């Protein structure tokens, strides 16, 4: 069966569903073109950051989970001494590590020439830069057994700390 017959009656603007049209900014689907995304060259920074965050989600929790049943000294050997130690009930303690991260996000500037009634104009779009400070706490709960403390559970880190 030919491609013309396979898509007969399913064409939109002369293109079958799902077919893509080449554009100077890349290849764009007809649905994207219809919704006004035609020629979009990059994702906004927030969407890209959220995507990376979702891809990396649960990373810290998975590492923390691997210490359950191990002596707290194993965590200390890997991450150094804790920032805080809290005595809870008799025979129970919480060990807490704090991590601070400061990240500078640069600003962006782009421009394009637009045709108007009054001639050509150069329009500039600017996104200001900013400084992002994140403070994360990683807490392990332990129980005393003999002369050592063993990890029994942990506190789930906040989403931005995963």
Domain ranges within the chain, ordered by starting residue? 69-161
Number of CB atoms found within 10 A of residue 138's CB: 22
**Does 95 have pLDDT greater than 60?**
yes
- Contact by Cβ (8 Å): 133, 63: no
**Does 133 have pLDDT greater than 80?**
yes
Residue 1: pLDDT band by 50, 70, 90 thresholds?
very low
CA gap 13, 34 in Å, rounded: 11
Q: What is the pLDDT of residue 43?
A: 52
Q: What's the pTM? A: 0.53
- Which residue's entry shows tokens 């890209």? 48
């Amino acid at each position: 069966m030919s491609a013309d017959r396979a898509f007969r009656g399913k064409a939109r603007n002369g293109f079958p569903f799902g077919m893509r049209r080449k554009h100077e900014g890349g290849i764009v689907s007809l649905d994207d073109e219809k919704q006004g995304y035609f020629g979009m060259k990059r994702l906004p920074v927030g969407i890209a950051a959220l995507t990376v965050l979702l891809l990396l989600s649960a990373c810290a929790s998975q590492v923390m989970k691997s210490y359950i049943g191990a002596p707290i000294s194993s965590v200390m050997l890997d991450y150094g001494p804790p920032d805080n130690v809290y005595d809870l009930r008799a025979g129970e303690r919480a060990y807490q590590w704090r991590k601070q991260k400061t990240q500078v996000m640069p600003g962006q500037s782009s421009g394009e020439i637009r045709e108007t009634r009054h001639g050509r104009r150069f329009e500039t779009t600017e996104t200001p830069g900013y400084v992002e400070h994140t403070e994360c706490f990683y807490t392990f709960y332990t129980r005393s057994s003999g002369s050592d403390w063993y990890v029994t559970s942990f506190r789930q880190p906040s989403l931005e700390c995963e």
